[in-house]
Amino acid sequence: MLTKKQHELLVFINGRLQDTGICPSFDEMKDALELKSKSGIHRLITGLEERGFVRRLPHRARALEILRLADSTSASPPPGFDPRVIKGGLSDGLRGAAVASTGKSVELPLFGRIAAGTPIEALRDPENTVAVPPGLVGKGNHYALEVAGDSMIEAGILDGDVAIIREGETAENGAIVVALVDDNEVTLKRLRRKGKSIALEPANPAFETRIFGPDQVKVQGTLVGLMRSYH
């Protein structure tokens, strides 16, 4: 699923290529989508590239090739979408929990699907929970998120894994965290503090480290465990 802005950018680039045969500049993309900076365009293009919608042409400045177009409904939020996960963070009405059961597992809320390749919206499903071995959770509130993408494969985090997250707004340097970027994108990455900047590092050389200002990234929780299904 594409975000609304990703879909808008894909349509704009395709229209310009169809009309002129020339890819629009980053400034033209920024103005068309009414964004404040070209860095936002860079993130959107990276997301489209990672999802297989566009390809950067080598040795040609700002040249993009459209590989496929999204369905007309691909940018529409599905039932159960809750913008608070994006706008207000997981702490706004989406509390985690660690509810011990009398059996051999703990039931955690499964808030949705998080990108490990590029930020996408977390999808809330209030009816969904996941049974977790007690050894994967400790003190504090916890929640689970399904991983999408392969940017964290060298950290042993694969597409389809269920990430167990301890809810919190702080994390140690080098921890793998759920990060809210610019108050509207959620991703799972390794956090590095570099002076006044924050780096969100992938664990796959095919993906780039992204650098942000200290006010652009909010920690939503820290990875404490993983579960994987082989069927």
Catalytic option among 5, 91, 104, 151 = 151
Residue 49 sits at φ, ψ, to 5 deg, of -65, -45
Residue 85: which residues within 8 A CB-CB, separation 6 or more?
94, 111, 112, 121, 122, 123, 124, 186
| Sequence letter at residue 13 | I
Distance, in Å, from the CA atom of 12 to the CA atom of 6, rounded to the nearest integer, reads 10
Helical H segments across the chain, by residue range: 4-20, 26-33, 38-50, 84-87
SS3 40: helix
Catalytic option among 189, 196, 197, 218 = 189
104 is catalytic: no
Number of helices (H), then strands (E), in the chain: 4, 12
Angle made by CA atoms 76, 77, 82, in degrees to the nearest 5: 155
Distance, in Å, from the CA atom of 201 to the CA atom of 15, rounded to the nearest integer, reads 33
Unique residue bearing structure tokens 């680039």: 13
Angle made by CA atoms 164, 170, 172, in degrees to the nearest 5: 85
Catalytic residues, by residue number, are 151, 189
